[in-house]
Amino acid sequence: MSTESNLSRTDAAVPILSLRDVRQSYDGHEVVRGLSLELKRGSIGCLLGPSGCGKTTVLRCIAGFETLTTGEIRIDGEVVSGPGVQLPPERRRIGMVFQDYALFPHLTVAKNVAFGLRAFDRKEQAKRIAQSIELVGLQGHEDKYPHQLSGGQQQRVALARALAPGPQLLLLDEPFSNLDVDLRERLGQEVRDIIKRAGITAILVTHDQNEAFAIADEIGIMHEGEIRQWDTAYNLYHRPASRFVADFIGQGVLLPGSVVSSNQVRVEIGMLNGDVPSNCGMGCDACGKGCEVTVLLRPDDVIHDDSSNLRAEILSRAFRGADILYTLRLDSGRKVLALVPSHHNHSIGERIGIRLAADHVVTFPPLPAEFAEGAHAA
């Protein structure tokens, strides 16, 4: 189950998963709308979005539980769903980890892991059971029953069972939703490490962006059955392609700005330096003509600086251990957010010095007047 053995099985140039213009409808309502994506071998992808956006339906289509209205799905170059083709789930070489783990309560850990290994002889079954249990770090728990395990251990059993047959693709459907927040974060990194060690290609569905950031190499932001941006976590946060993505990922505010040059935008609290989109989102041929834009500012773009002449009033504060998230009111009445090390401990009503420290300029067309003042991106 090593990375090398999995990656060498087939041509690495062929995407392990390819969706082309996939559409799926329930009772005449289109849930997935012309969705396309590719997932390269050995990578972990994620479909991230609010409830009802169609992400779980996409996963079910990949697994073969749903039939496409139109479009095509290929796994390792083979058409598994498409016009006249609907390969059954058991022939797709897919492993799946469900939201509720779906463990058999009357079977031990070892027997749960063995459940998908009926096609192998006893010697190979024993080998794969041992390898999978070791991979997820549950040695010594082989003879325990699910009720004797913690939630995190049960999740690892489900993962071991899905990995044991050596699938081409692993699907994870909201795998941490039954766990508390602290355990989710820790287990998310563990699951990523396990998948990478196994050399398996995987796709995760979640509504929790911290989960997505911890596990996935690439993330697709879904909304109303479509992928609005497929990118790395870094780019989704710092270079969102649309206002919706900016709203959904992280926190931030939208301030009015004026384009000064091709690499400068002026906002109320200073000058932003960076590459400004050539059309400013307004259809201009070039920047530098005073185009009005909306600028996205993240909490880490605003720095607390006692030596700054620019002051802002603290409206609220959220203590987060190492940091404090301050909501600040500017002299205009507009609001910004600032993420500040927690030893800068200030009270509501205080006025503190701030300055800009943004590496990226993210602009959108101007907001309508009713949303323009102190608008929050998230």
Q: How confident is the model at residue 72 (pLDDT cuts 50, 70, 90)?
A: very high
- Could you give the angle at which helices 181-198 and 122-135 cross, rounded to 10 degrees? 130
Q: Which residues contact 178 (CB under 8 A, 6 or more apart)?
A: 99, 100, 101, 151
pLDDT value of residue 3: 39
pLDDT of 28 strictly over 90: no
Q: Average pLDDT in the 114-132 region?
A: 94
The continuous run of DSSP H or E covering 254 comes out as strand 253-261
What percent of the chain is predicted at pLDDT more than 90?
A: 71
Q: Average pLDDT in the 207-219 region?
A: 93
pLDDT value of residue 367: 67
pLDDT value of residue 8: 42
Rounded Cα distance between 209 and 193, Å, is 18
Neighbours of 59 (CB within 10 A): 20
User: What's the pLDDT tens digit per position in 216-265?
Assistant: 999 999 999 999 999 999 999 988 999 999 989 989 999 999 888 877 88
**Residues facing 340 on adjacent strands:** 324
Yes or no: say if 251 and 285 are a contact pair by the CB < 8 Å rule: no
Yes or no: say if 169 and 203 are a contact pair by the CB < 8 Å rule: yes
Query: What is the 8-class DSSP label of residue 187?
Result: H
Yes or no: say if 295 and 266 are a contact pair by the CB < 8 Å rule: no
pLDDT value of residue 376: 58
Q: Could you tell me whether strands 323-329 and 335-341 are parallel, antiparallel, or unpaired per DSSP bridges?
A: antiparallel
pLDDT of 194 strictly over 50: yes
Q: Largest alpha-carbon pair distance within the chain?
A: 75
Q: How confident is the model at residue 365 (pLDDT cuts 50, 70, 90)?
A: confident
pLDDT value of residue 102: 87
pLDDT value of residue 269: 93
Yes or no: say if 190 and 159 are a contact pair by the CB < 8 Å rule: no
**pLDDT-wise least confident of 99-113, 192-206, 256-270, 281-295:** 281-295
Task: State the first-to-last Cα distance of the chain, in angstroms, to the nearest integer.
Answer: 41
pLDDT of 368 strictly over 90: no
Q: How confident is the model at residue 360 (pLDDT cuts 50, 70, 90)?
A: confident
User: Which residue in the block uniquely carries the two structure tokens 């071998």?
Assistant: 41
**pLDDT-wise least confident of 199-203, 260-264, 283-287, 296-300:** 283-287
Mean pLDDT over each residue of the chain, to the nearest integer: 88
User: What's the pLDDT tens digit per position in 128-185?
Assistant: 999 999 999 999 999 999 999 998 899 999 999 999 999 999 999 998 887 777 777 7
Nearest in space to 97 (alpha carbons), one of 183, 189, 163: 163
What percent of the chain is predicted at pLDDT more than 70?
A: 90
Q: How confident is the model at residue 9 (pLDDT cuts 50, 70, 90)?
A: very low
pLDDT value of residue 6: 45
Q: State both tokens at 180.
A: 């508390």
pLDDT of 271 strictly over 80: yes
pLDDT value of residue 107: 96
Q: How confident is the model at residue 305 (pLDDT cuts 50, 70, 90)?
A: very high
